[in-house]
Chains A and B, each alone.
Chain A
Amino acid sequence: GAGVSQTPSNKVTEKGKYVELRCDPISGHTALYWYRQSLGQGPEFLIYFQGTGAADDSGLPNDRFFAVRPEGSVSTLKIQRTERGDSAVYLCASSTSGGPGHTGELFFGEGSRLTVL
């Protein structure tokens, strides 16, 4: 498809389990972002990749969260020892460039809804 693809669309897991969420950005987009949206809130920044490297991971809440983008395209967000507070919609977005001169428009996927029981 032409848009940002995220899998799974829904994930239900038990407290303490490990979870992986996948994002396939728009082809050619070098910048990739993960955001988290809790109920009644706006998207909250987690991490930004420019190419293969994580240029800014300051939004990751703690060391249970980790993300990779090994080939500069697909990215995986990994959550260890999940907690009930991790329940949210995890949004992936991509853009052509993240640097100065760019208007800031990000193209979002439909999100992965994570529920931790």
Chain B
Amino acid sequence: DQQVKQNSPSLSVQEGRISILNCDYTNSMFDYFLWYKKYPAEGPTFLISISSIKDKNEDGRFTVFLNKSAKHLSLHIVPSQPGDSAVYFCAARDDYKLSFGAGTTVTVRA
């Protein structure tokens, strides 16, 4: 029973353009949502989070939007840079446990 879903396995974007990654969830008890970034042969690293009581959080080039009624969140990266090429995981917290989506591989083209 997958509670967090990332339906796009991959995304290709030109350098300088916006990357938009999407995530859907089913559990209404999730209170925090996080995005993690993962390079090959490394562990996931935290990127940005948002509380369930907020609808937007911005940190530099990264903005996360939360639509609770639709149980949907998105990550916007603008402008996209070559170093952003990685796998991005959406995660959601229920008490102490994080549930992860399957990830979206982002490739930024020069």
Contact = CB atoms under 8 A, between A and B. Distances in A.
B11 interface: no
Contacts, number: 65
B32 to A, nearest CB: 4
Interface in A8-60: 31, 33, 35, 40-45, 48, 50, 55-56
A41 B97 contact: no
Interface residues of A, number: 29
Given A4-B43, A110-B43, A42 B89 contact: yes
Given A41-B102, A42-B89, A105 B43 contact: no
Given A4-B43, A43-B89, A91-B43, A105 B97 contact: no
Contact of A45 (B43, B44, B97): B97
A103 B49 contact: yes
Given A43-B89, A108-B43, A109-B43, A31 B96 contact: yes
A82 to B, nearest CB: 22
B46 A106 contact: yes
Interface in B33-53: 34, 36, 41-46, 49, 51
Interface of A: 4, 31, 33, 35, 40-45, 48, 50, 55-56, 91, 93, 98-100, 102-111
